[in-house]
Amino acid sequence: MNDSNSDLTHLNLDDREILLLGTAHISRESVELVRTTIEREQPDTVCIELDEQRYQALRNSNRWETLNLFQVIRQGQAPFLLANLALASFQKRMGLQTGIKPGAELAAAAEAAEEHGLDVRLIDRNIRTTLLRAWRKTGFWRKMMLLSTLIASLFEKQQIDEEELARLRQTDTLSAMLEEMGDALPNVKQILVDERDIYMAEKIRRAPGKKILAVIGAAHKPGIVSRLQSPPQPQLLDELDHIPPKPAISRVLPWLIPAVVILLFVLGFFYGDTDNMADAAVAWILANGLLSAAGALIAFGHPLTVVSAFVAAPITSLNPTIGAGMVTGLVQAFIAPPKVRDLERVGDDLATLRGWWSNRVTRVLLVFFFSSVGSAIGTLVAFHWLKDLL
């Protein structure tokens, strides 16, 4: 049955009472609602829509000060960190309009539960697992749509207030929004929303106590209610925690492209015109080098970073184990390392486009991204001249 408060839903599951509190992650009203609900209901356990990584990020405001950019780039984690920051940037800008830090109501839920001596359970799936599943289970063109959506979100200036947030918490509005997302990016919606609904519902089932309060984003409440009212499927947790391997094309393509390029040069040497081969070699160097350097310039990279992009891109394009962005990112981080101020202000600077370019932490990631894109485009452009070798 539903509570008179539309944000709170009561369910009876076997001999237990489950309360689902739908919130907005940048709402002052949601912060107050979480605290008053915990005080009034006094549940045995409070389940929170967080994983351990996001929980620690909310609790530790100084986490950026321990960030090792060199390690992030070397371990190939730069794309993941960049995507995570792009998502955080959108919520941060929304939060500035309401004066609330994104996820403040989730942090308030943990704090209130601890104050009352209640058990706290983190029920969401690891954010890295979610993003990797979304990326690897999405086709190339939909990946490009997802990537463009993330980039476009940096330029959006959507206005929102508490009244709008209250409207968005209503189930019918959210259902319509999710239907639109499902039409445009069905795989992404399934992984970001539907899978997490299943995951969190099963985690709520496993929470101890007779009375469970789950603090979740309102967008997830309809799906979780539906799952809790269906037979349990505990075997799904392991499946939903599994990161699928890279598609075969993703594993083969990085090796196929340099193999084709080298083969074209070899054939051109033995059977083609040597003048054409020289022109093709120059074209390969210029297309890769100039476009990768242009990407580094767009990110406001250091002049030496721009030079490193020009030098590295033609070489790294033939080496699948290292990319141009890895070289330029490391060079930028070495030449213009983040200062203490940059590390302290990463969270705040995400809120503005200017902040992304002025903060030395995010600028390194932008250098990595734009120089990589430039090199990839350069490779495609260079093929126009390489075909003349035959």
| 93 within domain boundaries | no
Compute the residue count for the chain.
Answer: 390
The answer to whether residues 224 and 199 belong to one domain is yes
| 3 within domain boundaries | no
Q: Which amino acid is at 15?
A: D
pLDDT 10s digits, 107-142: 899 999 999 999 999 999 998 898 888 878 777 666
Give the span between the Cα atoms of 374 and 364, in whole angstroms: 15
CA-CA-CA-CA torsion sign (243, 239, 175, 30):
negative
The answer to whether residues 302 and 367 belong to one domain is yes
The answer to whether residues 208 and 300 belong to one domain is no
pTM check: above 0.75: no
HSE (side-chain half, CA atoms, 13 Å) at 373:
17
The answer to whether residues 53 and 144 belong to one domain is yes
Count of CB atoms situated within 10 Å of the CB of 94: 22
Give the span between the Cα atoms of 280 and 386, in whole angstroms: 5
Give the span between the Cα atoms of 124 and 215, in whole angstroms: 11
Work out whether strand 211-217 and strand 45-48 pair parallel, antiparallel, or are unpaired: parallel
| 323 within domain boundaries | yes
Name, in order, each residue with C-beta under 8 angstroms of 358's C-beta and a sequence gap of 6 or more. 349
Please give the residue range of the domain that contains residue 17: 8-88+99-240
Domain count, the chain: 2
The answer to whether residues 113 and 179 belong to one domain is yes
The answer to whether residues 212 and 301 belong to one domain is no
From start to end of 114-174, where are the E strands? 119-122
The answer to whether residues 225 and 295 belong to one domain is no
The answer to whether residues 305 and 365 belong to one domain is yes
The answer to whether residues 17 and 151 belong to one domain is yes
pLDDT 10s digits, 225-268: 999 999 888 888 999 999 888 777 777 777 777 787 777 777 76
Q: Which amino acid is at 296?
A: A
Q: Which of 240, 272, 303 is the last residue of a domain?
A: 240
pLDDT in 10s for each residue of the chain, 390 residues:
444 356 899 999 888 999 999 987 667 788 899 999 999 999 999 999 999 988 887 777 666 666 778 888 888 778 877 777 776 665 555 544 445 566 788 989 999 999 999 999 999 999 889 888 887 877 766 666 666 666 665 555 555 555 555 555 544 344 444 444 455 566 777 888 889 999 999 999 999 999 999 999 888 999 999 999 998 888 889 999 998 887 777 777 777 777 877 777 777 666 666 666 777 788 888 999 999 999 999 999 999 999 999 999 999 988 888 889 999 999 999 999 988 788 778 777 777 778 889 999 999 999 999 999 999 999 888 877 776 655
The answer to whether residues 159 and 14 belong to one domain is yes
| 94 within domain boundaries | no
What is the chain's alpha carbon radius of gyration, rounded to the nearest angstrom?
A: 25
Give the span between the Cα atoms of 373 and 51, in whole angstroms: 31
